[in-house]
Amino acid sequence: DAGITQSPRYKITETGRQVTLMCHQTWSHSYMFWYRQDLGHGLRLIYYSAAADITDKGEVPDGYVVSRSKTENFPLTLESATRSQTSVYFCASSYSGADQETQYFGPGTRLLVL
Regarding 106 and contact with another protein (CB under 8 A), the answer is yes
Regarding 40 and contact with another protein (CB under 8 A), the answer is yes
- Interface residue with another protein among 22, 45, 52, 112 (CB under 8 A) is 45
Where are the extended beta strands (E) located within 8-86? 10-13, 19-25, 31-38, 42-51, 54-57, 64-66, 76-78
Q: Of 50, 90, 91, give the one whose Cα is nearest residue 71.
A: 50
Task: Kindly tell me which of 21 and 92 has the beta carbon lying closer to another protein.
Answer: 92
Eight-class DSSP state of 113: E
Eight-class DSSP state of 108: -
- Interface residue with another protein among 22, 58, 75, 86 (CB under 8 A) is 58
State the nearest-atom distance from the C-beta of 75 to another protein, in Å.
18
State the nearest-atom distance from the C-beta of 5 to another protein, in Å.
10
- Classified as helix, coil or strand, 34 is strand
Cβ 73 vs Cβ 86: under 8 Å: no
Task: Kindly tell me which of 42 and 62 has the beta carbon lying closer to another protein.
Answer: 42
Binding site for another protein (CB under 8 A): 31, 33, 35, 40-45, 48, 50, 58, 90, 92, 94, 100-108
